[in-house]
Amino acid sequence: MFANFRHSMAWLHTWCGLALGFVLMVVFFFGSLSVFDREIDRWAIPDTRFEPQPMPSFDKMLRPVFETMQPDAAARAATAPLVDGPLPERFDTPRSWGAYTTHRDPVLLLFAGYEVPGAKDHETAIYANRTVDPRTGEALPTDRLKLGSEFFYPLHYSLSLDWKNVGYWIVGFSALMMLMALVTGVIMHRKIFRELFTFRPKKTTQRSMLDMHNLTGVVALPFHFFFAFTGLVIFAYIYFPVTHTQLAPLHDRHEQIEAKETGLPHDRAGVAAPMASVDAMVAEAQRRWAAKGMGGAVGYLNVQHVGDANGYVSVYRAGTDRVQLTGEGIHFKLSTGELLREDPPPTLVARINEFLTGLHLQHFKHWLLRWLYVLGGLSGCACIATGLFFFVEKRKRHHAKHGVSGARVVDALAVTVVTGMLVATLSLLIANRLLPDLMPAGWPLRGAMEKYCFWGAWVLAAVHGWWRTASVAEGRLAPAWREQCLAIAVLAVVAPVLNWITTGDHLLRTIGSGYWPVAGADLFMLASSALAFMAARKLQARAARPVTASNVKLEAKHA
């Protein structure tokens, strides 16, 4: 079928890359934004624009908050089908209370899980979440969408398609195919080292796109490989759900045995017990970490079997000083404060898993490395986008000559996922600044409206992309690219200006006070605006350039 091995690899690279490149573009772009998800949250929720806070006192502040928490209507609706009979008005038996923060979070995320009376499966739990200001314990409004951590981040790993985890499967399959595309790409590329630094924008569009595709693909090859691979490792439990299917009895038995070995009770005793000072337990955990020469900030605090004689408290360290996602957990008896267990050093396999997971999830405190991750992610976007451009450039004249619309369809889809995605993202940020704090009666909640604005803008960009790529069917450059670049240039200025008008936080103030989460977001948008404007001008110049016979000949030679 193919003349040689390299040709077969080229076929695989081209068609798998084309089929899944659109998904990977979304994954890479929102993954890049997710590196600064907490900072984007600050931009989107002005009430949270203050410095990151340490874990507050559990005894004085968190416990009273936990005691008032109850599942919301959405959680109740999701749980109702899992229960025989009606749900109770209140859930009175907390299974666990958890508090989570990072070195970048001014706010604290709390979640409480409750036993569900009458549940068909006795392990069913219902959860309540709350985000609080750790300085006062006051709850933040529940209808504020955390754009970074609750919208862009889930888009990165699940495309926000939650039905039967279908989004996770699409992203996982795409990551697997990306690994294959990286390997086949290396096999296809004859001059990896000789052309490592080569980019020739003055050559034909097709040649320069291939140069950029090779350059951005090769320079960040280790980054692309490790991120695709570690993404698969993180969600391996979804892709191989054996512990809850074929091996479920073994899994349940293992949990019981592990609970006996560690001394951390698996179930409630059914005997009420008072709660000792959790703050004293946290202080003891920090003393033990300090004795090992480790930083002592608490990242995650969990109280299991609340109010029961079997209750215990787990204190985990925020591992900001290393790549590994590690907590060095220390566990105490809830009723007495007695030390139950200090997690032993992880096994070799566990250490590898912690490293691979931490590499991807980046809990470390290192701003330079964060920016370098963004560079790696955006180079991935550039690699995928130029791969799509190359596909179109290579075929559009041939397709035009034979009346085939393949190149036009690919170009329209590429417009949608490259510039269209940026238009949608900026529209969401603008909607975030323009929507009223309280939506009128009968309207969806503010957070839901923001999401509708995002999807609506993306659909409009797709329609525009389809409409304004008709010229590709005639072998010419589509004006959709230039027009959407201009739209990005305008929107990326409008968003920071609206931030200034609605919050008073203009760049002079945020830079002057050193508040980089908001200053960085504004500067990033302004830089994007400048780049988009330059791209629009270049595209205009290229569109105005007459198609010469030599140009066509050169491009045909590569086709």
Partner 1 sequence: MLDAALLLGALLACVVGMGWFALSLDVHWAQVRGSAPQSPALVKALRLAGAAALMFSLVLCLTVDSPSIAVLVWLMAVAGATLAIAFTLTWRASMLQMLVFWTTSQGAR
Does the footprint of partner 1 cover residue 375 (CB under 8 A)? yes
Nearest residue (CB) to partner 1, 142 versus 198: 198
DSSP per-residue codes, 84-128? SSPPPSS---EEEEEEE--TT-SSEEEEEEEE-TTBSSTT-EEEE
Question: Among residues 338, 321, 341, 320, which one has the least CA distance to residue 329?
Answer: 341
CB 513 within 8 A of CB 505: no
CA-to-CA distance for 542 and 86, rounded, in angstroms? 66
Residue 20 main-chain phi, psi, to 5 deg: -110, -5
Tokens 């504020």 found at: 144
Nearest residue (CB) to partner 1, 146 versus 363: 363
Min. distance of Cβ 220 from partner 1 in angstroms?
5
**Pattern 17-56, partner 1, x by CB under 8 A:** ----------------------------------------
Does the footprint of partner 1 cover residue 201 (CB under 8 A)? yes
Does the footprint of partner 1 cover residue 223 (CB under 8 A)? yes
Question: Among residues 6, 7, 108, which one has the least CA distance to residue 65?
Answer: 108
Does the footprint of partner 1 cover residue 376 (CB under 8 A)? yes
Min. distance of Cβ 539 from partner 1 in angstroms?
18
H-helix or E-strand containing 341? strand 339-342
Min. distance of Cβ 322 from partner 1 in angstroms?
5
Min. distance of Cβ 221 from partner 1 in angstroms?
8
- At position 382, the amino acid (one-letter code) is A
Among the residue ranges 175-183, 338-346, 367-375, 428-436, the one whose residues contact partner 1 (CB under 8 A) = 367-375
- Residue 83, classed as helix, strand or coil, is strand
Nearest residue (CB) to partner 1, 90 versus 194: 194
Does the footprint of partner 1 cover residue 379 (CB under 8 A)? yes
Q: Which of 269, 350, 369, 556 binds partner 1 (CB under 8 A)?
A: 369
CB 159 within 8 A of CB 212: no
- At position 208, the amino acid (one-letter code) is S
CB 351 within 8 A of CB 327: no
CB 278 within 8 A of CB 59: yes
Q: Which of 24, 40, 99, 220 binds partner 1 (CB under 8 A)?
A: 220
Q: Which of residues 296-325 bind partner 1 (CB under 8 A)?
A: 321-324
Retrieve residue 420's tokens. Answer: 């269209």
How many chain residues are in contact with partner 1, going by CB under 8 A?
28
Residue 321 main-chain phi, psi, to 5 deg: -105, 10
| Chain CA centroid to CA 152, Å | 5
Q: Which of residues 268-287 bind partner 1 (CB under 8 A)?
A: none
Q: Which of residues 180-199 bind partner 1 (CB under 8 A)?
A: 194, 196-199
Does the footprint of partner 1 cover residue 541 (CB under 8 A)? no
Q: Which of 170, 219, 339, 445 binds partner 1 (CB under 8 A)?
A: 219
Q: Which of 20, 171, 306, 359 binds partner 1 (CB under 8 A)?
A: 359
- At position 452, the amino acid (one-letter code) is Y
- By the criterion CB under 8 A, which residues form the site for partner 1? 194, 196-201, 215-216, 219-220, 222-223, 321-324, 355, 359, 364, 366, 368-369, 372-373, 375-376, 379
